[in-house]
């Protein structure tokens, strides 16, 4: 990876920095091999050319998805690309087919849902954004296609996200493999549930990580031949056994020891445990407790997890008994015994722990002591017992602890595998390897040596895979690569593991020698490898050594190498624990075939090497895939990217080593169009139309005199450093061009400035002169104007005063005269009105008083009856709550309502009679009043006459002599006069009383009339309530009957074969075991003798012939009439005429179902599907409007009319026949009819879905081409230069790229034509187009989000033009067809609208969400903004402030758990139409005038169709 190339002033470079690893800068001066660089932090540094790397100044802000496409494949370029993508929340990046995953330390659920897995399913590798799903899909496809097992190696240090990546891989494999279940939990769930158990017994704290895996885990997902998951297994490798007995400061032992010491008090008392610091195996380090881990709660969690994976409570107790025994065993110390070279427990404390360990192991304490302090040696004919000194006894103790823990861990793994369930017959598997990464600490011991050996072996495997990929790429492009030499790390592996002479071999040899020390081992290493280039001896050290690993130099301290490597296989330990009284401990040590042999020396290093070889053999049988997990910071917080830390992880993960291998060949690879587009300025003539891409590329390379490059089929391959040379030449050309442009621009600006100044001076002078003249003229004009104004003002003021005086006098005079006239008029009107009011009032009062009395009486009666009716209604409502009493209450309520209705009618009739009687009585009273008035007038006239007679008599008496008057007559007349006066006064009193009573009765009558009206309304409401109760009751009875026959609907209607009899034992209520029924559902006549039986049989034959004729007729396409399907209406008429709906058992429905079932078989023909959709939906509408359950009152499809008040109205209301509908009427149907209706509903849904899916299938390919046309065209176009149309899909040229959108519009037009020709109801057409447009919206929008190359400016312009075509097409449709289909495109319309606007960096976040894209979520906007690239004008996306605001919002939503599961759109697949909507969409009156088919009308049996 040594940088090559030449640098010039102005070159962008990377230079090393102590704080941020690499920092970019600009070359200011070149002094030979020294460069003076001005860094972006403001500092100036001087660096050698060999330590400086070129920087791509035109790199995208969001980076590249595949780092092999970087212009400069070097260490700082890789680091910057990862940092750029991490800043955009893109955590996955490819390096070839290697996935690099940077842990975001925040939830991103939208990346891992089922919809995202569906997008990656079957997609080409590299076509979509980097993702673990792409790795898993590639592995799964290779396994299925080639029948070879696959492996996915997930590496990285603890906290880098290995577990989450593994979960994602297994989630996708379960998605592809069918999510095989074992019990109630899937294989994936069971594997993940085993993690807490394995972490408790296999993880420990190291210097860098608090939860580091100290073993390798290989999860095998097993598949059958069909690609379905059949089982799983967990294989563990390379458990760090030495950690059980020796740990370094500040590390910890395995977590389970500390968990057990923090267990509840009863558990600690049971195992006789104390504080963790009191045990030798734990107190070798000062770190006992971790701040971020609660050992007590982890203990409970671990035991819960053990129960989940199938470990019983007894087994759990036995496991922790063994763990406690190991702790007690470590506290046993030894001292010199009484005999020579013997040993015994040191003190009482050691004997206590020895006794406790024996008790926990359930073995003999004396035998345990002898197995630790003595050795049995078997010779040819004798057995020798040898004492061990205290040092050897301690080694024997540690060997026992290690072997017990190792066997315990293996048992746990086997138990978990048994719980998960393996498939021994599986030949295919996908393995996921999760293993510890490279380690380099300040103090490195034997554990780090073994771990780094593992990583060296895996790195060799990785390097071979990377080199193989390079070879495949070169072979694919047909370039020569034979001279490229591949150098791997075999020499380092030979240094460590070669036999004899390797470090491990020397370590084993030293361990076998008595009295050897680590210094002896170090001297052997120094002598053996003093000339090895990969081995060195640190200065000022007597026992350390340094190995030059691929990831860096690591210095190892040999102090504990010997103690940690020794691992005796002691036969006494095997026999002792096999004889344990605890069945669990005994099962850990089964009988051995070597039971008679003596103790055998083994080393942990050799065992480690053998297990490592077994792992590599397993991996070699599979096709490898790699995921490198990176931890961006040690604080484990989101948004922090530590360069140095990540660079070290890239180095340890082998990513930089892979880049080094790539740099040995051709690290820079560019497509021809990209190369010519970038470097065409070096040879402008190639930008014309005379040369194709390959020729232009060769001419450019010859022009710059480059050597060593290769021309492939689609790419140009450049050696390391050649890209920098080309960029330097390009920078020079662009620099010279910039100077020329600047010179021309400066001269143009200076000339333009001079001309503008001259023109400005001339204009300024002219303006000043004009201004002076205007001021003088203005003064003269003002003076003349002032004189004129004064003259007119004086004249106006005088005229105004005169007019005001005249107007005031005239106004006063007219006001006075008008006031007097109005007063006189008002008085006359009041007098006339008073007379009129008095006359009308008196007549009205007399008439209304009597009428009110009669009305009040009637109203009182109605109110009382209404009150009683309401009281009865409340009782009925309470009784209606009980289903059993509902029928009886209905009948009773029906009678009462009829009685109340009759009473109300009677009351109305009585009220009418009363009104007539009242009017007659009123007329009589008026007549009597007139008679009384006439009598009164006569009496008054008579009185006047008498008075006049008296006056005349008095006059005569004055003239004539006195006449004797009859006194008796005078008295009589006087008395009669008094009587008449009294009669008149009494009549007037009666008249007043009558008028008063009439007014009172009128008011009471109005109140009673109002109450009677309310009572009538309530009676009508009661009637409607009763009818609704009755309807609900019948519906419930029908539903119960349907539910009892639900088993008939188990088989889907699509499985009915064409022209075959149904296979179910009960079809539409007709058992197959019964005899054939007639079309009316009646059983055939029994075998009778005579002419009567023969006539009856011929009748049934005619009925069957009629059914056959109908079936044969409607099976064919008999077309439409009056815009309605003839077949559906004919079927309905025949079924109604034959009364098939009212039969209990019939086979007619089965034969009709077969017709519709055969239509489903032709699922590729939209014409046939549309024809049958039209017929089935029309028939369904008629059934929905006509069928009712038996016993139901039945209501018209129209709104229920109010109850009739007359007896004739009650008769019509009790009838179920609808007057205004002759064709469709209410029918009391039986169960087979309702089953037929339900099956017909399923057929309608199936036909609708098939038409919709067929259109989607046709549009999918067009949409995929349409969204990628600009990208495909750009591959053959360079700034307007065309290289022919051969590379475009289907031979289309750039000018013809809109043909895909035209094809989409043509498909929609053709579909509309088919639906219209087949008279499909408009509601189906509208819903189909709505769902199709929703599908187009989802496909295009999701493509923008998951395909980075589609989210460009030119693609936005192209898609916008296509959407405009769709909008025009929708505008030409009728509203009943288009509906809201265009609104379904809102997401893609807003997205492309954002893509094609200019100056995005000036737009604020509020403008985006409020004006441009109000319908998009924050996640969708962020994805579009980060993926956007301007391939036309090279402009920038939105500003960093806007992106930061989006990130903040997403982080807040994630913390509040309100983040949506996905930023992708889902496609609706259900039929969004209810049966009620279908029924309401058509008027059954439209079916009246449809003519039946002529072939049926010609038959005598079908003459009823004419009526």
| Catalytic residue ranges | 158-159, 163, 209, 212-213, 437, 439
Which residue, among 449, 469, 433, has the nearest Cα to 614 in the 3D structure?
A: 433
Which residue, among 433, 435, 452, 460, has the nearest Cα to 156 in the 3D structure?
A: 435
Q: Contacts from 911-918 at CB under 8 Å and sequence distance 24+? A: 911/855, 911/858, 911/1012, 914/854, 914/855, 914/857, 914/858, 915/851, 915/854, 917/854, 918/850, 918/851, 918/854
- Residues shown for the chain: 1507
Which residue, among 354, 401, 348, 392, has the nearest Cα to 373 in the 3D structure?
A: 392
The 10 Å CB-count burial string (b at 16+, else e) for 273-297 is: beebeebbbbbbeebbeeeebebee
Cα distance between residue 1094 and residue 1075, in whole Å: 18
Tally of CB atoms within 10 A around 554:
18
The 10 Å CB-count burial string (b at 16+, else e) for 347-379 is: eeebeebbbbbbbbbbbeeeebbebbbbbbeee
Do the beta carbons of residue 946 and residue 975 sit within 8 Å?
A: no
State whether residue 1182 is helix, strand or coil. helix
Backbone angles phi, psi at 1230, to 5 degrees: -100, 180
Q: Give me the half-sphere count of Cα atoms (radius 13 Å) on the Cβ side of residue 921.
A: 17
DSSP letter, residue 1078: P
Do the beta carbons of residue 228 and residue 178 sit within 8 Å?
A: yes
Maximum pairwise Cα distance, the chain: 204
Which residue, among 553, 491, 562, has the nearest Cα to 524 in the 3D structure?
A: 562
Beta-ladder partners of 1071: 1066
Do the beta carbons of residue 998 and residue 852 sit within 8 Å?
A: yes
Question: Quick one: the chain helix, strand, coil %, rounded to 5?
Answer: 60, 10, 30
Which residue, among 1156, 1179, 1153, has the nearest Cα to 1168 in the 3D structure?
A: 1156
Q: Contacts from 1037-1046 at CB under 8 Å and sequence distance 24+? A: 1037/1189, 1037/1190, 1037/1191, 1038/1188, 1038/1189, 1038/1190, 1038/1192, 1038/1234, 1041/1189, 1041/1231, 1041/1234, 1042/1231, 1042/1234, 1042/1235, 1042/1238, 1045/1069, 1045/1231, 1045/1235
User: Residue 237: which H helix or E strand, with range?
Assistant: strand 229-237
Residues 6 or more apart whose CB falls under 8 angstroms from that of 673 comprise 693, 1274, 1275, 1276, 1277, 1278
Which residue, among 251, 265, 394, 402, has the nearest Cα to 322 in the 3D structure?
A: 402
Do the beta carbons of residue 697 and residue 711 sit within 8 Å?
A: yes
Backbone angles phi, psi at 887, to 5 degrees: -65, -45
Q: Give me the half-sphere count of Cα atoms (radius 13 Å) on the Cβ side of residue 793.
A: 6
The 10 Å CB-count burial string (b at 16+, else e) for 1128-1145 is: bbbbbbbbbebebbbbeb
User: Residue 95: which H helix or E strand, with range?
Assistant: strand 92-95
Cα distance between residue 1100 and residue 1075, in whole Å: 13
Q: Pairing between strand 623-630 and 98-102? A: parallel
Beta-ladder partners of 767: none
Tally of CB atoms within 10 A around 1033:
19
């Amino acid at each position: 990876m040594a940088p090559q190339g030449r640098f010039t002033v102005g070159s962008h470079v990377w230079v090393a920095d102590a704080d941020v690893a690499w920092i970019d800068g600009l070359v200011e001066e070149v002094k030979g091999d020294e460069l003076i660089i001005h860094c972006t932090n403001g500092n100036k540094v001087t660096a050698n050319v060999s330590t400086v790397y070129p920087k791509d100044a035109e790199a995208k802000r969001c980076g590249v998805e595949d780092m092999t496409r970087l212009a400069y494949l070097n260490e700082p370029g890789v680091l910057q690309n990862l940092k750029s993508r991490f800043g955009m929340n893109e955590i996955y990046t490819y390096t070839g087919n290697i996935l690099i995953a940077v842990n975001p330390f925040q939830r991103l659920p939208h990346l891992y849902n089922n919809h995202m897995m569906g997008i990656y399913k079957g997609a080409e590798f590299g076509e979509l954004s980097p993702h673990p799903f792409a790795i898993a899909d590639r592995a799964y496809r290779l396994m299925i296609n080639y029948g070879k097992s696959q492996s996915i190696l997930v590496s990285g240090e603890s906290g880098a996200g290995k577990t989450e990546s593994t979960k994602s891989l297994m989630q996708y494999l379960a998605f592809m493999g069918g999510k095989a279940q074992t019990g109630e939990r899937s294989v994936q769930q069971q594997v993940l549930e085993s993690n807490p158990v394995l972490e408790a017994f296999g993880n420990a704290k190291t210097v860098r990580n608090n939860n580091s895996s100290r073993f390798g885990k290989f999860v095998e997902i097993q598949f059958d031949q069909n690609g379905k998951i059949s089982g799983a297994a967990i294989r563990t490798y390379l458990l760090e056994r030495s950690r059980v007995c020796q740990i370094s400061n500040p590390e910890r032992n395995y977590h389970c020891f500390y968990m057990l010491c923090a267990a509840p008090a009863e558990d600690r008392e049971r195992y006789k445990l104390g504080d963790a610091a009191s045990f030798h195996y734990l107190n070798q380090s000062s770190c006992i407790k971790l701040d971020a881990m609660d050992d007590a709660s982890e203990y409970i969690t671990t035991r819960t997890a053990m129960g989940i994976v199938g470990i019983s409570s007894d087994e759990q107790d036995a496991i922790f008994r063994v763990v406690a025994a190991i702790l007690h065993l470590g506290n046993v110390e030894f001292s010199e015994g009484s005999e020579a070279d013997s040993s015994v427990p040191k003190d009482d404390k050691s004997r206590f722990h020895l006794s406790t360990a024996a008790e926990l192991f359930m073995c003999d304490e004396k035998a345990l002591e002898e197995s630790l302090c003595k050795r049995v040696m078997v010779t040819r004919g004798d057995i020798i017992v040898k004492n061990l000194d205290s040092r050897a006894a301690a080694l024997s103790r540690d060997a026992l602890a290690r072997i017990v823990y190792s066997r315990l861990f293996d048992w746990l793994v086997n138990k978990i595998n048994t719980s998960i369930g393996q498939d021994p017959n599986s030949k295919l598997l996908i393995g996921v390897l999760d293993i510890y990464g490279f380690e380099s600490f300040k103090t490195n011991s034997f554990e780090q040596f073994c771990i780094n050996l593992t990583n060296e072996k895996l790195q060799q495997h990785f390097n071979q895979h990377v080199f193989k990929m390079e070879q495949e790429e070169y072979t694919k492009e047909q370039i020569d690569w034979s001279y490229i030499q591949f150098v791997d790390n075999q020499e380092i592996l030979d240094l460590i593991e070669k036999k004899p002479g390797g470090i491990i071999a020397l370590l084993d040899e030293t361990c076998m020698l008595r009295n050897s020390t680590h210094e002896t081992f170090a001297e052997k290493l120094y002598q053996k490898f003093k000339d090895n280039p990969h081995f060195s001896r640190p200065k000022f050290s007597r026992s350390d050594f340094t190995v030059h690993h691929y990831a860096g130099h690591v210095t190892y301290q040999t102090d504990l190498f010997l103690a940690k490597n020794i691992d005796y296989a002691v036969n006494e330990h095997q026999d002792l624990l096999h004889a344990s009284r605890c069945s669990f401990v005994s099962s850990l040590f089964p009988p051995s075939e070597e039971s008679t042999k003596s103790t055998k020396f083994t080393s942990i290093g050799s065992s480690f090497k053998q297990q490592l070889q077994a792992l590599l053999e397993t991996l070699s049988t599979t096709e490898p895939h790699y995921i490198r997990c990176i931890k961006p910071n040690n604080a484990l917080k989101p948004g922090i990217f530590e360069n140095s830390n990540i660079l070290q992880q890239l180095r340890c993960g082998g990513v930089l080593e892979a880049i080094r291998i790539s740099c040995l060949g051709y690290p820079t690879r560019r497509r021809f169009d990209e190369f010519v587009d970038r470097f065409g300025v070096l040879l402008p003539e190639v930008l014309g139309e005379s040369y194709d891409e390959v020729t232009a590329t060769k001419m450019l390379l010859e022009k710059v005199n480059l050597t060593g490059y290769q021309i492939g089929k689609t790419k140009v391959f450049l050696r390391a450093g050649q890209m920098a040379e080309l960029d330097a030449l390009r920078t020079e050309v662009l620099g010279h061009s910039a100077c020329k442009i600047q010179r021309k621009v400066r001269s143009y600006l200076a000339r333009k400035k001079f001309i503008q100044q001259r023109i400005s001076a001339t204009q300024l002078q002219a303006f000043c002169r004009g201004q002076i003249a205007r001021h003088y003229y203005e003064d003269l004009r003002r003076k003349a104007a002032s004189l004129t104004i004064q003259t007119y003002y004086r004249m106006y003021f005088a005229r105004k005063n005169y007019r005001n005086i005249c107007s005031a006098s005239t106004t006063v005079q007219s006001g006075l005269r008008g006031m007097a006239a109005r007063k006189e008029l008002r008085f006359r009107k009041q007098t006339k009105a008073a007379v009129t009011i008095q006359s009308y009032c008196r007549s009205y009062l007399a008439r209304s008083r009597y009428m009110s009395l009669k009305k009040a009486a009637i109203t009182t009666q109605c109110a009382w009856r209404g009150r009683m009716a309401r009281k009865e209604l409340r009782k009925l409502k309470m009784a209606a709550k009980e289903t059993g009493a509902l029928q009886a209450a209905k009948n009773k309520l029906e009678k009462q309502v009829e009685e109340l209705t009759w009473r109300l009618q009677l009351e109305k009739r009585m009220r009418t009679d009363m009104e007539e009687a009242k009017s007659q009585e009123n007329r009589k009273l008026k007549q009597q009043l007139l008679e009384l008035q006439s009598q009164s007038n006569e009496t008054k006239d008579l009185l006047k006459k008498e008075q006049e007679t008296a006056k005349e008599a008095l006059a005569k008496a004055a003239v004539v002599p006195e006449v004797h008057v009859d006194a008796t007559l005078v008295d009589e007349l006087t008395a009669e006069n008094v009587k008449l006066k009294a009669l008149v006064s009494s009549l007037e009193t009666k008249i007043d009383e009558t008028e008063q009573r009439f007014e009172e009765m009128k008011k009471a009558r109005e109140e009673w009339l109002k109450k009677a009206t309310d009572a009538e309304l309530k009676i009508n409401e009661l009637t409607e309530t009763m009818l609704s109760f009755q309807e609900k009751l019948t519906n419930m009875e029908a539903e119960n009957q349907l539910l009892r026959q639900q088993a008939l609907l188990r088989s889907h209607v699509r499985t009915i074969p064409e022209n075959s009899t149904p296979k179910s034992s009960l079809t539409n209520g007709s058992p197959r075991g019964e005899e054939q029924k007639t079309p009316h559902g009646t059983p055939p006549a029994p075998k009778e003798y005579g002419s009567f039986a023969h006539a009856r049989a011929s009748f049934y034959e005619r009925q069957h012939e009629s059914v056959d004729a109908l079936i044969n007729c409607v099976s064919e396409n008999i077309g439409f009439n009056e815009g309605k399907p003839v077949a559906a209406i004919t079927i309905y008429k025949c079924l109604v005429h034959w009364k098939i709906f009212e039969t209990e058992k019939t086979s007619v429905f089965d034969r009709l179902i077969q017709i519709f079932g055969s239509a489903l078989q032709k699922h590729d023909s939209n014409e046939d599907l549309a024809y049958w959709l039209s017929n089935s939906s029309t028939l369904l509408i008629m059934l929905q409007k006509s069928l009712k359950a038996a016993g139901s009152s039945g209501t018209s499809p129209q709104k229920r009319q109010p109850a009739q008040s007359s007896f004739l109205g009650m008769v019509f209301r009790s009838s179920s026949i609808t007057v205004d509908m002759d064709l469709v009427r209410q029918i009391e149907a039986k169960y087979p009819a309702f089953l037929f209706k339900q099956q017909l509903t399923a057929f309608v849904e199936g036909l609708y879905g098939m038409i919709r899916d067929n259109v989607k299938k046709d549009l999918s390919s067009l949409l995929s081409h349409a969204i990628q046309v600009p990208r495909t065209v750009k591959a053959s176009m360079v700034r307007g230069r065309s290289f022919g149309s051969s590379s475009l899909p289907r031979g289309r040229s750039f000018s013809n790229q809109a043909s895909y959108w035209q094809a989409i519009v043509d498909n929609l037009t053709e579909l509309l034509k088919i639906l219209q020709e087949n008279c499909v109801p408009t509601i189906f057409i509208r819903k189909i187009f709505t769902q199709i447009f929703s599908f187009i919206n989802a496909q295009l929008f999701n493509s923008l989000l998951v395909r980075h190359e589609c989210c460009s400016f030119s693609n936005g312009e192209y898609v916008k033009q296509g959407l405009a075509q769709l909008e025009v097409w929708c505008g030409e449709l009728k509203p009943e067809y288009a509906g809201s289909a265009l609104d379904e495109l809102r997401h893609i319309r807003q997205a492309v609208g954002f893509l094609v606007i200019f100056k995005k960096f000036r737009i604020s976040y509020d403008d985006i969400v409020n004006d441009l894209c109000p319908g998009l979520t924050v996640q969708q906007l962020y994805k579009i903004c980060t993926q956007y690239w301007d391939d036309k004008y090279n402009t920038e996306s939105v500003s960093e402030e806007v992106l930061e605001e989006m990130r903040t919002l997403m982080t807040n939503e994630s913390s509040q758990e309100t983040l949506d599961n996905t930023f992708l759109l889902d496609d609706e697949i259900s039929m969004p139409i209810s049966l009620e909507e279908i029924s309401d969409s058509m008027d059954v009156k439209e079916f009246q005038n449809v003519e039946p088919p002529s072939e049926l009308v010609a038959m005598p049996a079908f003459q009823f169709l004419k009526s």
